[in-house]
Amino acid sequence: MSNESAVVVRLDAGVLSLTLNRPDKLNAITYPMINSLLRYLEEAAADPDVRTVLLRGAGRSFSAGDDLVSMGEVPRALSPGEHPVEAMQQLLIRRWYWLRKPTVVAIRGRCHGMAHDLALAADFRVVSKTAIMGDIRSRRALPVGSGGTFLLPWLIGLAAATKLMLTGDTIDSDEIERLGLASVVVDDDAFDDAVAALAARLAAGPTKALGILKYQMRRSLGSRLEDALELELSLLDEPVDDRREGRLSFLEGRAPSFTGR
142-194: pLDDT as tens digits = 889 999 999 999 999 999 999 999 999 999 999 999 999 999 999 999 999 99
Question: Quick check: 4 pLDDT over 70?
Answer: no
Confidence bin at 235 (pLDDT 50/70/90): confident
Q: pLDDT band for 1, please (50, 70, 90 cuts).
A: very low
β 7-12/15-20 pair status: antiparallel
**What is the DSSP code string of the chain?**
--TTTTEEEEEETTEEEEEE--GGGTT-B-HHHHHHHHHHHHHHHH-TT--EEEEEESTT-SB--B-SS-----SSPPPTT--HHIIIIIHHHHHHHT-SS-EEEEE-SEE-HHHHHHHHHSSEEEEETT-EE---GGGGT----SSHHHHHHHHH-HHHHHHHHHH---B-HHHHHHTT--SEEE-GGGHHHHHHHHHHHHHTS-HHHHHHHHHHHHHTTTS-HHHHHHHHHHHTT---THHHHHHHHHHHTS-------
- The reported pTM is 0.91
Specify whether the CB–CB gap between 171 and 132 falls below 8 A: yes
Q: What is the pLDDT of residue 2?
A: 41
**pLDDT for 3:** 47
The amino acid at 114? M
Tens digit of pLDDT for each residue in 5-18?
Answer: 899 999 999 999 99
The average confidence (pLDDT) of the chain is 94
